[in-house]
Structure 1
Amino acid sequence: MATETEPVGQQIPPKPTDPPTVPRATRVKAAFAEQRKHAAARTRDWLATNDLDHLDIVEAATKKKDKKYDEKLVQQERLAGEAVARQKVAHARHDTDPGSVSKSELAALTGRAAAEEAKLETLRAKPKLPPTDREITATRAAKKAGRAAIVAGGGIASLPVLGATIEQAATGQPMLLAALGAAAGYGWYLVSRPFDAGQPAPAPNTGEQPLAAAVVNLAKDGLQPGQREFNAPPPPALTVEQLEDALRAIGEIRGEEKIQILAVPQREKDGNTTVVFDLPPRTTVAELKKKLPKLAGALGRDVSMVDVTKAGTEARASLWLTDQDAFEDTRPSPLIKAPSQLDAFKEGVPVAWNKRGITIRLAINNQSYVIAGMTRSGKGVGASNLVVGTSFDPRINLRIVAGKNNGEWDPYAKTGVASTYFKPNPERLLALLKALLADKDRRERDLGALGKSKLVGPVIEQIGGIELLVIDELATYTRPGKPLRDEILEALIELSAVAAGAGILMVLITQYPEADVIPQALAMNCGARWAMRVENATQSNAILGGGQASAGRDASKFDPPRPGFGWLVNPFAGVTDLARSFDLDEDERGEITMLLEKAAKIREKAGRLAGQWDDPIEKHLLNTTGLSSAAGGPKRDGAPGRNVLQLTPEQRMQMDACRGCLIAMNDLGRDVAQLDEMAELIGESMTADRLGELLRAAGAGSTVKVVIEGRGRVNGYRRAPITDALQFLEGA
């Protein structure tokens, strides 16, 4: 069979050849080199902390600062707890065996416990400030150093795929790779993807759900036994947009202006929120504070739920807000729980709390006080917190001048806490003011001899303690037309102006905060002022100072008004804030008497109860008027009388016998009685013969014939002679 053959001389074209084959190893090497470039870019970016924006660093710095504060607080709580425990143990040993612990050791332990508790309270009251620029910079530097340390430690260099990049100071994403461990291949994929400098790397789990939610679902589905549920933090109580809208609504932001957030507004452990931001350059924090009520309204809160303070510069504001009104409920005085000796000069006494719930302590040094407000505003409770607190410092001599004849201030006399106490008496008040002015001269001489220009803590006892003059219902003495008004005002103004440095201070209480009751010359020298509810802005300014109402501090606009709630201005403590006094009740719960009885024991141990020490002020009053008002006078009711402390023991027994007879007659329901029945009712081993001796010596005379129903005509006493004898002894 013939076969077809190719023509002779015709060339068959060659088959096309494949392109030159690149060896696989070369391709892998090139791909790996490209990946290393991406990894190097990512790791350089990571080492430079470019993956963390400014707010991330601020948040980290804030957490670091808060942690340091919390650690310091825990440490101080431990120190305070140990000091209180040592004090209680020592007192328990002393009660069991009085000779086992000396009084000086007890006093030292008590002082140490009070000091540590005061430090703790001060630390708790100290506001948490946002991190400074220096602290923020240090936090970023620490982040960089920590990441560099990981590289230097070789933890990432041990991974072969990254070894070459270390020479370029790059390690990929080491924290992620370290967490992945055996999944190094997937880790290499994450860091070797294409990367544009300055752009964050995409999240490794872009898809249907975020990583946190995936972890929660895995735990709930039981795919990872023992896996804990991830609890996300609560949402912020305030967004940046909401804050800007509120500031724009009150005119603090205009046009295209923006605020710069420095501390992220996150909800704190106690449910409150703090955000630090810079205002536009044309305004200040002071201007913003004037608009605080409007800002609170724009944020949907009451003014008592919002606070603004300066955070360093004039335009840097720290905004604090809460969702609950701190003044809604009353609070008991901390002294009820812990009625211990205080250092009122240095640490102050607890009187109220502010909108952040922090206890406000007022120190008894360098300044006098004005507490004012209309009837039922709670000024009396506020004043009681201050005066009761000072009674726990035995170095303070309380001089109380009541403006009414009721028994509001009687407990201070009955417990012996009040060095001086009397009820409305302008002549005696003027004599007291002159005595204090004279004592001011003596104190200044003593301070000069000690080389001091003013009173300081270590020399308080050497010059006779601190004089605290409390005048309740000041208008009783200073309203136009009152007796001796001009003389009293002149003495008050002089004391307020020149006596504070010598340790003579005042607490002036009134429900008529008007210029003719508290003249400007007097008010300006009273540094601390507490304005409860008043009728109008003029009265508010009379207490707090001119222009305060226009600055947002107006005590006539409390809505709703609450007892003890008002504006408290105390420049020495850096306080200008809303405050509510602790609830302290005498009429129903007897809390003031209870606390004063505790204070009296402290004073008795220190030898500073009325009558235990040589009181130059009462001595001056006795010499001037012939009557004593020490501890409220002989009856301890605010009525001055003959100085009981100067009577002989026999005269005191005569007084007690007369009083006992009058009480016995009251019990018998008649104005005549026999010696034997009165002696029986008096008790305490009193006999009829001894009672007769005491009554005759007191000036009541001998028995006379009296008629008693059922007994007829018998020997006994009538009420009138016994009353006359008692009045003579008391000097009434």
Structure 2
Amino acid sequence: MATEVQPDHIEQQPVEEAAEPTRKDRIRAAFKEQRGHVAARTRDWLATGDLDHVDVIQLATQQKQKKHDEKIAQQQRAVAHAHARFAIARARSEQEASSVNPSALARTAGEVAEAEARLEALKAQPVLPPTDREISKARHGKKAGRAALLAGGGVASLPALGTAIEQAASGQPLLLAALGTAAGYGWYLVSRPFDAGQPVPAPNTEMQLAEPVDLVKQEQPGMREFNAPPPPALTVEELDQALRNIGEVRGEEQIQILAVPQRDKDGNTTVVFDLPPRTTVAELKKKLPKLAGALGRDVSMVDVQKAGTEVRTSLWMTDRDPFEDARPSPLLKKPSQLDAWRDGVPVAWNKRGITIRLAITNKSYVIAGMTRSGKGVGASNLVVGAAFDPRINLRIVAGKNNGEWDPYAKTGVASTYFKPSPERLLALLNALLADKDRRELDLGKLGKSKMVAPVIEQVGGMEMLVIDEVATYTRPGKPLRDEILEALIELSAVAAGAGIILVLITQYPEADVIPQALSMNCGAKWAMRVENATQSNAILGAGQASAGRDASKFDPPRPGFGWLVDPFAGVTDLARSFDLDEDERGEITMLLQKAAKIREGAGRLAGQWEDPIERHLLNATGLSSAAGGPKRDGVPGRNVLHHTPEQRMQMDALRGCLKAMDDLQRDVAQLREMAELIGGGMTEIRLSQLLRDAGAGGTVKVDIPGLGRRNGYQKADIADALSLLEGN
């Protein structure tokens, strides 16, 4: 049996040896062909064949944006250095033995202003789409970078990887295992058959370093996994058709796409294109509602801006109404001191979700809209924000007798606060006009033609006069209307440069309430929901409704939503004010308490500093409205801020007695029981002395239920003494 099996074994051996060289030859031939594909693909990659023209445009755009950001960062550092030099120079000048030349200090201040102006100019400068030269430079730069990578061995290692795989397949299984799955998959990607212009992955050694991927997906019950990228939000054909539908592109005219539409991570889309020479971006803006409709969106979901030339357009659009949900004020999250001149105060957000910050500088404001339009919330964002800059003196004149503006008085933030009084408003306006003259003299001594940031504190801070429901004083037939309007017009025309600005709030946006001579001098305007285009133009200016900015067209209307126009800040946009609630959540009081602590630390709470405006009002009327008057409720009275400590203790005792009688539910009380209810160590003897000194007199015989006639006080006598002390 053995002699029969052995020959069969010997006959099979030559067959295996004859087949082995054939398999090796096939392996070598396959890898030789794959190396050829790798070489072809590498040459195409070095020539940036995998990047189409759009990719290069985007690359050039990113490079321009990066350079612009670097310039801004560099200028911000220059501003910081200028501020530091000025601070050091000012500190030295305040020393008695200082030898700092005043002109040198003024020159340093000028350098600060110049650096800040350059920074603002840089921030306002738009980043235009790249030119053909910049696009070509971006492609050449990409080629150079890839050539450097190849010279460093990044891509050159790929053919060597092929040789290693070939060697492993021909008898080195341990080496093949060491290469790993990621390297094998990378070799597969770059060694496939290649045709020039074919969109395939570029050679990249990062594939070898990729993390292992778990290809086993955990399916959710009743759900299917779908990981394809979202489709483009807008195609070039759809954009072209929309522009033709509204008549901006006609016949054989074409638009030129400079940056193709791509959806970002927030679901928004931006496309840059050139309109036909016949029309302009300004004309397209007038048709924005029609364009939004042609694109299947609301006007609040589409934005058009000029991107350089008169025909170069930046179109932004989103899939969801950006104003649908209310947003809280950023100050609620971070209630810290603000530089309202340089950085502005956060008041609203625009279509793109960007916070709008209005700078408190040399301009006045008009905020208007019909009842329940949210103008009060919009104004509160502005005024509360201003409270966080202790250099701003707030003067608030209410148009109603409710408590809407009381928190500003109760926290001591309002330097002046009173409720409807035409006589007192006229006196306040005259005081501000007189202060304007004083400020101009101070600016002249400092060598300045108008208020600039470095000298705000040296001239007494900024003055912000807030007049709510201005129609209460300026509608035809109102007392002192002509005199008040004349003073307002003069202040708006000449006082802003001296740091005195107006904030006018009204629900009657009509020409006889805010005449053109007054409106034209208010540089920032916020038009919320109104009844018709005429009222909208009364706020924003003649012809604005026909230009597409019509505050009567909001559908649906939302509280705090309107057209915000501030040319000084480069803002002409739909905006919705942040949500600030006082009645239910007490947010305004909470923020003002934070602002009061900041002002107290700076010595700028009402009563902490010598206020020339309130001094003028006290001399003219005999009553003070500092911090809302004696009761801090907007009712002027005797100057409570200048009461002696003894008078304050007397008023506290009188108020304590009135409260004790309220608790006892009767109009008479004995000293003993009132002292016990007041508490805090108050005794009968001490209370008796305080009441006598306050003018309430001594005890009298009073009828007390259940006790009969006793020595005590009547409520009317206590109230009269308190009223006398408070100046009512």
Give your verdict on TM over 0.5: yes
* Aligned residue in 2 for 1:58: 57
Conservation of the 8 A alpha-carbon contact between 2:328 and 2:580: yes
Secondary structure of 2:315 counterpart? strand
2:78 is aligned to none
Once the two structures are superposed, what CA deviation does each residue of 1:499-536 show, in whole Å capped at 9, x if it has no partner?
A: 01110001000000000000000000000000000000
Deviations 1:615-655 (CA, angstroms, capped at 9, x unpaired): 00000000111100000000100000010122221122111
SS of alignment partner, residue 623 of structure 1: helix
Deviations 1:280-339, CA, capped at 9 Å, x for gaps: 011111111111111000000011110011111110101000001110000111111111
Secondary structure of the 1:251 match is coil
Out of 301, 305, 317, the residue aligned to residue 297 of structure 2 is 301
In the TM superposition, residue 156 of structure 1 has moved relative to its aligned partner by 8.3
Contact 1:235–1:266 at 8 Å: present in 2 too?
no
Structure 1 distance, partners of 2:324, 2:430, is 44
Distance 1:328 1:626 in 2: 50
CA contact 1:310–1:318 (8 Å) conserved in 2: yes
Q: CA deviation at 1:471?
A: 0.2
- 3-state SS of 2:491 partner: helix
Map of 1:146 onto structure 2:
145
CA deviations 1:321-359 (Å, max 9, x no partner) are: 000111000011111111110011110110110111111
The residue aligned with 1:644 is 640
Q: How far, CA to CA, are the matches of 2:432 and 2:156 in structure 1?
A: 82
The SS at the match of 1:270 is coil
Q: 1:357 maps to which residue?
A: 353
In 1: Cα distance, 2:463 partner to 2:373 partner:
27
CA distance in structure 1 between the partners assigned to 2:531 and 2:622 by the alignment: 43
For residue 445 of structure 2, what is the aligned residue in structure 1? 449
Determine helix, strand or coil for the equivalent of 1:318. Answer: strand
1:696 Cα offset (Å): 1.3
Q: What are the ranges of 5 or more consecutive residues in structure 1 without an aligned counterpart?
A: 1-37, 77-119, 161-177, 192-199, 206-217, 223-228
Deviation at 1:698, TM superposition (A): 1.5
Amino acid at match of 1:538: T
2:380 aligned residue (356, 380, 384)? 384
Q: Distance in 2 between the 1:243 and 1:606 partners? A: 56
Aligned to 1:723: 719
Shift of 1:426: 0.3
Task: Give the equivalent residue in structure 1 for 2:175.
Answer: none
Q: Choose which of 288, 308, 313 in structure 2 pairs with 1:312.
A: 308
* Gap change, CA 1:455 and 1:664, over 3 Å in 2: same
Matching residue's letter, 1:447: L
Distance 1:468 1:656 in 2: 33
Partner of 2:656: 660
Q: Does 2:454 match 1:458?
A: yes
Match of 2:463 in 1: 467
Asked if 1:714 corresponds to 2:710, the answer is: yes
Amino acid at match of 2:556: P
In the other structure, the counterpart of 2:505 is 509
CA distance in 2, matches of 1:568, 1:184: 54
SS in 1 for 2:652: helix
Cα deviation for residue 258 of structure 1 reads: 1.2
Q: Say whether residues 1:624 and 2:623 are aligned partners.
A: no
RMSD: 3.5
One-letter identity of the residue aligned with 1:688: E
Kept after mapping to 1: 8 A contact 2:50/2:199: no
Q: 674, 678, 681: which is aligned to 1:682? A: 678
| Cα distance change of structure 1 residues 184 and 693 upon mapping to structure 2, 3 Å threshold | closer
Relative to 1, partners in 2 of residues 1:52 and 1:596: Cα closer, same or farther, differing over 3 Å?
Answer: closer
Distance 1:534 1:677, change over 3 A: same
2:517 aligns to what? 521
Q: Does 1:481 align with 2:477?
A: yes
Report the alpha carbon displacement of residue 234 of structure 1 after superposing the two structures with TM: 2.8
* Alpha-carbon distance, 1:147 to partner: 5.0
Taking the aligned partners of 1:488 and 1:604, their CA distance within structure 2 comes to: 33
Equivalent-residue separation in structure 1 for 2:402 and 2:527 (angstroms):
24
Determine if contact 2:667/2:714 at 8 Å carries over to the other structure.
Answer: yes
Superposed displacement of residue 149, structure 1: 4.4
Specify the code of the residue in structure 2 equivalent to 1:671. Answer: D
Q: Which amino acid aligns with 1:730?
A: E
Give a deviation string over 1:632-691, Cα, whole Å, max 9, x none.
Answer: 000100000010122221122111111111111111111111111111111111111111
Alignment of 1:372-411 (within 5 A): 372-411=368-407
| Alpha-carbon offset, residue 123 of structure 1 | 12
Query: What residue is the counterpart of 2:693 in the other structure?
Result: 697
d(CA) in 2 for partners of 1:704, 1:697 = 16
Aligned residue runs from structure 1 range 266-281, under 5 A: 266-281=262-277
Residue 241 of structure 2 corresponds to 245
The higher radius of gyration belongs to 1
Match for residue 608 of structure 1?
A: 604
SS at 2:305's partner residue?
Answer: strand
- Tell me which of 530, 534, 540 is aligned to 2:530: 534
72 and 703 in structure 1: CA distance in 2 versus 1, 3 angstrom threshold: same
SS at match of 1:665: helix
Pair 581,128 (structure 1): closer, same or farther in 2 beyond 3 Å: farther
**AA paired with 1:499?**
A
Question: Given that residues 651 and 725 in structure 2 are in contact (C-alpha distance below 8 angstroms), is that contact kept between their aligned partners in structure 1?
Answer: yes
**Does 2:234 match 1:235?**
no
Q: Percent identity?
A: 81
Contact 1:349 1:361 (C-alpha < 8 Å) held by counterparts: yes
Question: Structure 2 vs 1, CA of residues 554 and 39 (structure 1 numbering), >3 Å: closer, same or farther?
Answer: same
Distance 1:563 1:183 in 2: 59
Alignment partners' CA distance in 2, 1:587 and 1:39? 71
In structure 2, C-alpha distance between the alignment counterparts of 1:617 and 1:551, rounded to whole Å? 42
Summarize the Cα distance change of 1:584–1:134 in structure 2 as closer, same or farther, 3 Å threshold: farther
- How much has 1:137 moved relative to structure 2? 2.6
Aligned counterparts of 2:200 and 2:580: Cα–Cα separation in 1 = 61
What's the offset of the Cα at 1:129?
6.0
Residue 210 of structure 1 corresponds to which residue in structure 2?
A: none
The separation in 2 between residues aligned to 1:124 and 1:267, in whole angstroms, is 25
Maintained 8 Å contact 1:124/1:358:
no
Deviation at 1:71, TM superposition (A): 10
* 2:319 aligned to which of 313, 319, 323: 323
- Partners of 1:407 and 1:510 lie apart in 2 by 17
Q: What is the CA–CA distance in structure 1 between the aligned matches of 2:674 and 2:186, rounded to whole Å?
A: 99
In 2, Cα distance between the equivalents of 1:726 and 1:378?
39
State the secondary structure of the residue aligned to 1:458.
helix
Say which of 541, 545, 548 aligns to 1:549.
Answer: 545
TM-score normalised by L of structure 2: 0.78
d(CA) in 1 for partners of 2:690, 2:450: 52
- The CA deviation at 1:572 is 0.9
Deviation (angstroms), 1:179: 11
Report which stretch shifted further, 453-462 or 134-143. Answer: 134-143
The 3 A distance-change label for structure 1 pair 240 and 655 is: same
The change in CA–CA distance for 1:284 and 1:653 in structure 2 (over 3 A counts) is same
Tell me whether 1:633 sits opposite 2:632 in the alignment. no
CA separation in 2, counterparts of 1:704 and 1:530?
Answer: 61
Change (3 A) 1:204 1:240: closer
Report the Cα offset of residue 143 of structure 1: 2.7
**Cα distance in 1 between the residues matched to 2:504 and 2:131:** 42
The answer to whether the 8 A contact 2:38-2:191 is kept is no
Contact (CA 8 Å) 2:158, 2:187: kept in 1 or not?
Answer: no
Which residue in the other structure is 1:215 paired with? none
